[in-house]
Structure 1
């Protein structure tokens, strides 16, 4: 999570909570907090709002020398979302594996159950930064070939700069 601190030396509560919850989730459900928090971004807003990842089930290995086998991602969803997930299984596996950084998931298991839809705060529009900051962001990300990655890093840069401005 990093050593993000404000000027008083205290770490944000979210960092502390993530640091405590991530190992617990990983041990109990085989899933990391980053995937749970980024679920809508990983599989898309429409489907992400109707589902949530529950756990990752890793196959048992009899010996240490057994070859790696991908895990099963268990997803909770309601009604019609189950059909959409079933039809988009290959794409979802690909996106989750890209998010995790390796071919961790080989199949998906769907569990039809209510998905808690806590009142989510409305997303604000993208942060606005001054022209000089925008030029610095473009210069820093201009050499990145992947359009999606370049756009994501530019959004991150704008958010960081906007947060710094807000704290002044």
Structure 2
């Protein structure tokens, strides 16, 4: 009996890369990194009301040494479009810093609802009485922040 060549789990990104690369290329993205790291690139405030939709690369003329900069098309929520337009210079600087060269020269906005990602479920709050009861049962711990943290941990375990 022969063993498979790889017996360890493969990352999901490795499996999906061939599938997604064609779709991303039609939208002008060389990789999915600008999409997945949008909040890290432009900041959380800007990313909360915008997302990259497409990059339009100009056709090469063959005469210039360096290619012309592309146009980044952003999907922006209607009320935030004016604010994003005013911050376009900041966005251009941050995106070009991410690419490492003057890749983007212009930003175009498309007003549309954003594709919202499901927010992680909020953890339920702990009962302060239960936390205090667990903290009282702990042995002599002089460090008060440690005692409170262990009390919260114990109350969370008891609740489950």
TM-score by length of 2: 0.64
Unaligned runs of 5+ in 2: 1-5, 123-160
Change (3 A) 1:51 1:71: same
1:115 deviates by: 0.6
Find the counterpart in structure 1 of residue 86 from structure 2.
87
Find the counterpart in structure 2 of residue 66 from structure 1.
64
Question: Between Structure 1 and Structure 2, how many residues are aligned?
Answer: 115
Matched, 1:102 2:95: no
1:23 deviates by: 4.2
| More deviation, 104-113/83-92 | 83-92
User: 3-state DSSP class of the match of 2:54?
Assistant: strand
Change (3 A) 1:90 1:122: farther
Unaligned runs of 5+ in 1: 1-6, 124-168
d(CA) in 2 for partners of 1:18, 1:111: 27
Find the counterpart in structure 1 of residue 56 from structure 2.
57
Find the counterpart in structure 2 of residue 30 from structure 1.
28
Change (3 A) 1:28 1:17: same
RMSD: 2.1
TM-score by length of 1: 0.61
1:19 deviates by: 4.4
User: 3-state DSSP class of the match of 1:65?
Assistant: coil
1:57-83 CA-to-partner distances (Å, cap 9, x unmatched) read 111233x22342101000001123211
Find the counterpart in structure 2 of residue 21 from structure 1.
20
Find the counterpart in structure 1 of residue 77 from structure 2.
78
1:17-75 CA-to-partner distances (Å, cap 9, x unmatched) read 134313430x201113000000111111122022110111111233x223421010000
